[in-house]
Each structure stands twice: as C-alpha cells, then as structure tokens.
Amino acid sequence: MRGDGERDDEDGVSVDFVKNLTRGLSYDSKGKNLTGGCVCSMINLDYTLLVQAAVFIVFVFLINQFLFRPIVDLLERRKEATTGAQEKALALQEKAEKEAALLEEKLAQARHEAALERDRLRKKALEEQKSVIERARRAIDKDIPALREKVLGEAKEVEEVLKKELEPFAKQIAEKILGRAA
C-alpha cells in the first residue's frame, strides 16, 4: 500500500489507477489523475455526436461521388470494352469460319463442275477424233483400189523399162564373164 491511500498490487501499480483507467480517466506519466478525479465516459452523447455523424455522412457521400463512383465507372467501362472486344472477336471468328466453310463449299462445287466440263470436252474430243479417223478410213478405202491400180500400172511400166534396159547389161555381163563377144 502506498501512503496516499491507494492500494498497490504485486507490480506496484495502483489498483485504483487501473480501475479509473478503464473508466476513461486520463493520467500523466507520473500517474497523476488529469481529469480531476471525475469519472467520465469516453463518448459524450451531446450535439457533437450529431455533428460528427453529419460530417461522416457528408464525407462518405463526397468520397462516393468523387472517388468510388468514378473508379467503379472506369472499371465497368474497361470491363465492357474488354467484354465487347472479346464478343466482337468471337463474332468475327464465327463469321470467318462460316465464310471459309461457304468458300470451301463453292470451291468443291467449282471443282466438280470443272471435272464435268473436262469429261464433256474429253468425250467431245474423242468423238471428233473418231469422226476424223473414220473419214480418213473411208477416204483411204475409197482411194485404195485406185491407188492399187495406179501402183500396179506403174510397176508394170517400170518392169518393161527395166527389161529393155537390162538386156544390154545382161549381154555385157555375159561377155565379160565368158570372155567373148556374143
């Protein structure tokens, strides 16, 4: 116990000091009561509480208007821009895939039509070739008897010419071989 009538606990701290501290009394560094012994609560319920509440509400409103709402709006615009760009990219990709499929279908159809046209032209060319060959055969068949007669006539003429020309040669060869004049 101290001499001023206050009890001390084991650590030398006044028990009344601790009780009064929990009641909201203020003390200096030496432990002297600064509130004059008055036990006051930490929160006074008077008009200042209403003023503080009003200031707090105005502050929250101003912070909301000038800080939070612009940030939220900016984040929403950014999200919309990002989402919009992604949706636009997906739409463009789907459109490109549809156009690629349509183009592939048209290309397959064009290939099919080209194959049909090629086959038609090939058949037409074969028919033309057969026609030309058939006309040539008919012309040849028609000309063959005349040509055969012409060739046979020319062969007879050549044979007669050769017989006339070969007789003197044959006599000359026989003379040279036999060594005498015939």
Q: How many domains does the chain have?
A: 2
| Same-domain status, 17 and 105 | no
With cut-offs at 50, 70 and 90, classify the pLDDT of residue 38. Answer: low
pLDDT of residue 15: 58
Is 0.75 topped by the overall pTM? Answer: no
| Same-domain status, 49 and 37 | no
| Same-domain status, 113 and 38 | no
Amino acid in position 169 = F
| Same-domain status, 11 and 68 | no
| Same-domain status, 16 and 106 | no
| Same-domain status, 6 and 86 | no
| Same-domain status, 27 and 95 | no
Over residues 41-92, the pLDDT tens digits come to 566 678 888 999 999 999 999 999 999 999 999 999 999 889 988 888 999 9
| Same-domain status, 74 and 62 | yes
| Same-domain status, 15 and 89 | no
The residue range of the domain holding 75 is 43-164
Over residues 135-152, the pLDDT tens digits come to 988 888 888 888 888 888
What string of DSSP letters covers 71-136?
HHHHHHHHHHHHHHHHHHHHHHHHHHHHHHHHHHHHHHHHHHHHHHHHHHHHHHHHHHHHHHHHHH
In a domain, 175, yes or no: no
Residue 157: pLDDT over 50: yes
pLDDT of residue 109: 95
| Same-domain status, 29 and 91 | no
